[in-house]
């Protein structure tokens, strides 16, 4: 039961953080900018949402890796079983991610962001 509780807490924290970014893609961009996360469309594989989440959630010792794709957030934990927690990105964050992805070169659109390597 403890594992399920840990997963629930991580899921809730990540969901809350993503929801707090804004109600539109432009609000998400403004929120990330105000938090010091710059959008650099030319840097493939370095999604701004992943950098933000790594700074906040990645500091949690239970989180091993954070990956953000166009529609999903994957939080990989250090657990052997059910190690990855998948969350659908809220619509504004998904729209922002797609907007940034379209502005970058076509080399790679999703590269995992490595977190704590304990």
Q: In which band, very low, low, confident or very high, does the pLDDT at 114 lie, cut at 50, 70 and 90? A: low
Say which range, 26-30, 37-41, 67-71, 84-88, has the weakest mean pLDDT: 37-41
In whole angstroms, what is the distance from residue 46 CA to residue 88 CA?
19
Q: Using an 8 Å Cβ cutoff, are 9 and 60 in contact? A: no
Task: Output the pLDDT for position 69.
Answer: 85
Reported residue count of the chain is: 118
Task: Output the pLDDT for position 43.
Answer: 55
pLDDT in tens, 67-110: 988 899 999 988 888 889 999 999 999 999 888 878 766 554 45
Q: Which residue has the higher pLDDT, 1 or 8?
A: 8
| pLDDT beyond 60 at 55 | yes
Radius of gyration of the chain (CA): 14
Q: Is the pTM of this model over 0.85?
A: no
- Per the prediction, the chain carries an average pLDDT of 83
Q: Using an 8 Å Cβ cutoff, are 47 and 68 in contact? A: yes
Q: DSSP letters of 79-93?
A: -SSS-EEEEEPPHHH
């Amino acid at each position: 039961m403890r594992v399920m509780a840990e997963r629930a807490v991580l899921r809730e924290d990540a969901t809350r953080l993503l929801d707090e970014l804004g109600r539109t893609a432009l609000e998400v961009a403004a929120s990330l900018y105000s938090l010091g996360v710059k959008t650099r469309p030319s840097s493939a594989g370095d999604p701004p949402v992943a950098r933000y989440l790594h700074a906040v959630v990645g500091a949690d010792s239970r989180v091993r890796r954070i990956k953000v794709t166009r529609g999903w957030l994957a939080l990989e934990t250090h657990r052997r079983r059910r190690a990855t927690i998948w969350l659908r990105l809220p619509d504004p964050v998904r729209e922002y991610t797609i907007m940034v992805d379209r502005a970058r070169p076509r080399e790679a659109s999703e590269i995992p962001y490595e977190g704590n390597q304990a």
